Amino acid sequence: MKHNAYICVLGGIAAGFRSRRRTIIAAMAAMAVLPIDASDAGRLAHTAKSAPRHGKSPKHVSSPKRPTVKLAALGPVALHPSALKPAATTCDPSKFRIVLDVGHTAESEGAISARNVAEFVFNLRLAQRIEEKLKGEGFAETRLLVTEGKARPSLVKRVAAANNLHADLFLSIHHDAVPNSFLENWEFEGRKSHFSDRFSGYSVFVSRNNPDFETSLLFAELVGKEMKANGLQYAQQYSQAIMGRYQHPLLNKETGVYSYDKLIVLKSTRMPAVLLEAGSIINRDEELKMDSPERRDIISSGVTAAVKEFCDPRWAILGPP
């Protein structure tokens, strides 16, 4: 179903489970040897009880990368105050290693845009631009992570690569689509295509099961704040019931940060991890914007500013502007 667009993050996995017995067997085999909770992929634990205990582990106490942050007003899901515990130390940009994970693979391309371009193509171009900007700002250890192979094994490979690189921060780059039930038909350049103009915008995801959830949230907030400061609006549909099993708890109604607790790349990475859905490529207007160098510049500058703020002690002292 190559040209069947789907919501980018979960869709590939969910579609595989629905339609291909071989995928199910392969995934079950993977689950036997790896700590993957695929059966829970569509079921999110929304209760505070399921969230990790914040600030208890020695790793959190000694983390050298977490500046102070004043979090904006929280949305529907309340967080324990200790999740926002400040730290006075900061990071050295020349040694700070951020892994930019290019979502999906050349073989398993993610969503298909309204004009039949693979999400992987959008993800790669944007991640490359972010890499350029970060390196230009002195973040010499920035690593672009391009993964090969099928969808699910690639998730495990990403996590292993980031862990082996001893990354300080993990940022996965994606572009959004919609569940199949929202798709409408049209023709683009004589070819039957699918679109949905109903939703648009970026969104930022973190997992409350990440071993350093509070730092993940801190960086996610900075990314969302920068997107907003650049005039972008977040995708609000993920908190709505119409999204069904794609619904996610909104952690901050100002910045568009959602939790996505079971996502492998966010929960199994041993460093703070954030996923950015940069914008919708199934929305016909927004696809054109996401395809433009100007929009890539805006988003990559925003991400770079967020990383700089994350590392900058002056920001930690002064607080958010």
Enumerate binding residues for Zn ion (CB under 5 A): 8, 103, 110, 174
Q: Compare residues 77 and 112 and give the one whose CB is closer to Zn ion.
A: 112
Q: Compare residues 13 and 77 and give the one whose CB is closer to Zn ion.
A: 13
Instruction: Identify the sign of the CA torsion 148, 151, 153, 159.
Output: positive
- Residue from 110, 199, 189 nearest 155 by CA: 110
Q: Compare residues 52 and 103 and give the one whose CB is closer to Zn ion.
A: 103
At its nearest, how many Å lie between Zn ion and the CB of residue 287?
A: 14
Contact 142, 97 (CB under 8 A): yes
Point out which residues pair with 171 in neighbouring strands: 100, 274
Rounded distance, CA 83 to CA 206, Å?
A: 13
Q: Which residue is nearest to Zn ion (CB)?
A: 8
At its nearest, how many Å lie between Zn ion and the CB of residue 12?
A: 8
Q: Compare residues 110 and 211 and give the one whose CB is closer to Zn ion.
A: 110
Contact 245, 260 (CB under 8 A): no
Contact 294, 222 (CB under 8 A): no
DSSP letter at 149? S
At its nearest, how many Å lie between Zn ion and the CB of residue 123?
A: 7
At its nearest, how many Å lie between Zn ion and the CB of residue 179?
A: 13
At its nearest, how many Å lie between Zn ion and the CB of residue 176?
A: 7
Q: Compare residues 110 and 249 and give the one whose CB is closer to Zn ion.
A: 110
Rounded distance, CA 155 to CA 149, Å?
A: 10
